[in-house]
A and B are shown apart, each in its own frame.
Chain A
């Protein structure tokens, strides 16, 4: 391979290459060997299939919402149906896709390998966590089939407790159960990271992917129980009327808001931190350089996790919280924006003096930079007290969190899936198609959500079934963008499935990356490593990798 080539892709000779005879995919056969597996890699694949299923369900709801909003009149579906659409879109996308997306798939697959160990600390709890996820998903589908739920994903009381006759309890049960799945995953990661690192794998030799998951896991374990409690209180209030939130019984409806956002704001970081971990790995690999300011990036994850717990009331600035608490929460919100800025700049400077190539994962990482920066900066708009009054509860906030969640997390997820696809399946995805899909989703995304910022400043409220006619042009643009975005998301589903059979054989380390996961066969053995690795180098040590490759060449 010449030095002037524009790719680092290094595949084995396809005429002689074969898939490894024994690997985690063919180690055991039959459906039961998958359903009863304790192997973190197989569980990751189970998760990948199930979250993809729910992603496309949630996406279908989004498509119908955008279709309805093509015209100002409420003409495609009834108001109740529309309300159910955005409620189910939110519930499915947040609890069944975004929260488990990277941690339960890539995290599950990679954390033990990156740490140089055989499996997670509690393989059976890991499997249980997938079953809980499935149970949560089943309850969600049940709520859908029995007529849907129209509370919005926020379950605002007293609307959810006293004024709706839809399947609130079923949906609440789904979220309650799915929450435990998330707690168990977090717990497993924390214990594994503390106790099961390979000899020599010190905290500051861990890949930043692991640091990001550690921070997210702490949030999952500490935050999710509060959601569980809140959901139980809503259910009790609805069924037996205990009156915790009901003002006519002396309850406080604002208490619900506090409890709900005490989880749901950290949940935003549960969703984005693992994505940031993915970006660190991708940027380093495709610029052949260690991540600039490793410790700053690692500690900024921890800082986000820490501050993330103390900003929840910024969702309530207009709800009559006291002026002084509004001040404190606004200030803390400004502080939590700083670590994200630090990360962006560190990634940008990782490129400096690198040797950069632009394969699909890198394109997704670039999309992440642009979209997450916009998402983060618009978050500062919303954190500024007086500005929030005008912007909150409008399409501005819808655009903001889609920039962070879809522009940030989903781009990182897709980047990560492409990056580790050869490791997970042993085969490459088709590069030209995937570049097309990355570019398509970037364009489609901006076309969908950029007009929504303008709509939000105009004052168009979120969750509106009908809207004044002067907002139509921007809504038409947004719907057109959503169509493009949909194509951008469907393409990977098609060509990744195709590549399972027809993709080029990837070999151990197609990206010539430094992580421990790239030093073993693809797909890995069930036991990951033949012998426990001894780690004597830092993460992203390309000199170590070059040295190792040289030795292999001389030995071979």
Chain B
């Protein structure tokens, strides 16, 4: 038989380009793969046992060889065997899987944070330094990166198969995932939750850079305004500072140092102030009234985009003193343009 060399070459290239196993490009990947191979092994053994029993009995007790069946009631010992052995294997799998789950979903405390907003049909990454990317994500190698993600519309799911991480991106709620990339290169980002017409176009690439390249990239791609700076402007333009002025007599609570603290609410409960709390308190203030304050804050539902909320949250997160608020207050009252910060590019 003769195969045309063109076709042959095509086939060789085509088969060669075919993927069979994903790259291990994060610190988590080897742990996931270890569990995967354990599970594959017990599946193969299980299949072999069932296959051997079925094939063996079929050969040995086929009608030609064994014309009359011998009736057997059952066997408690055998029942116990095939209850306990699978159960034990499944319990090992459970513990192993749970340990892996906590490893994947509990970020190290020193991880850097990047915000990701999902919308039909794109991924927007927002770096605290003010770098904005669409369907792309640049991360440094060898540093834990936490993604704080939210959807602007429907459920999405952020997946990087080569890192073995994935998490649902939910409307109205922050979810997080973390990874530490181990090899420079580009890897697929997929949306894995069906999200409408262009679900399969909601893809992107994560680029892992060496620390030096990453520094170059951050310097080269900044928009000039950090998220917190954007937040500061928003804080002023929406008039937040008229109540949250940080003065003793202010109508709204003092926001400096509030992030990470335990807050007593008017309904008696105590909450930890994190990103999710700040976001909820802006959108739905009547449910989050700080003890000692009147429920006078209007809702900002529908008035601030998810990006804007992220800016505000970043701004409040970074507020360690009231100095900035006072500055903002002064500038907004004095009707001047945005506050000047050293090194800041005016919009």
Contact = CB atoms under 8 A, between A and B. Distances in A.
A472 B14 contact: yes
User: Binding site of A, secondary structure by majority: helix, strand, loop or mixed?
Assistant: helix
A4 interface: yes
Contacts of A470: 17-19
A306 to B, nearest CB: 16
A320 B190 contact: no
Interface stretch (B62-70, B107-115, B255-263, B335-343): B62-70
A344 B154 CA distance: 41
A549 to B, nearest CB: 14
A84 to B, nearest CB: 10
B19 A79 contact: no
A247 B171 contact: yes
A487 interface: no
B46 interface: yes
Interface string B192-234: 1111111111000000000000000000000000000000000
B74 A377 contact: no
Given A319-B170, A387-B32, A458-B22, A381 B39 contact: yes
Given A386-B98, A458-B21, A461-B190, A319 B168 contact: yes
B138 interface: no
Given A74-B200, A294-B74, A473-B14, A320 B168 contact: yes
Interface residues of B, number: 91
A247 to B, nearest CB: 3
B200 A331 contact: no
B191 interface: yes
Contacts of B194: 83, 152, 154, 156, 159, 462-463
Interface stretch (B126-134, B156-164, B244-252, B324-332): B156-164
B67 A4 contact: yes
A464 B17 contact: no
A463 B79 CA distance: 41
Which of the four size classes fits the interface of chain A?
35 or more
Interface in B131-172: 153-155, 157, 159, 161-162, 164-168, 170-172
Given A80-B197, A471-B19, A158 B171 contact: yes
B120 A163 contact: yes
Contacts of B161: 390, 394, 458-459
Interface in B83-103: 83, 86-87, 90-91, 93-94, 96-103
B195 A326 contact: no
A296 interface: yes
Interface stretch (A11-19, A20-28, A186-194, A365-373): A365-373
A384 B62 CA distance: 39
Interface in A312-333: 317-320, 323, 326-327, 330-331
B3 interface: no
A79 to B, nearest CB: 5
Contact of B104 (A358, A386, A462): A386
A164 B296 CA distance: 37
Given A159-B154, A293-B79, A348-B54, A79 B197 contact: yes
Given A323-B102, A348-B54, A387-B100, A462 B155 contact: no
Given A248-B301, A458-B19, A354 B170 contact: no
A35 interface: no
A36 to B, nearest CB: 43
Contacts of A331: 94
A348 B53 contact: yes
B277 interface: no
Contacts of A370: 47, 50-51
Contact of B71 (A290, A457, A462): A290
Nearest to A349: B78
Interface of A: 3-8, 74, 79-80, 83, 150, 152, 154, 156, 158-159, 162-164, 247-248, 250, 253-254, 287-290, 292-296, 317-320, 323, 326-327, 330-331, 334-335, 337-338, 341-342, 344-346, 348-349, 351-358, 366, 369-370, 373-374, 377-378, 380-381, 383-390, 392-394, 454, 457-459, 461-474, 542-543
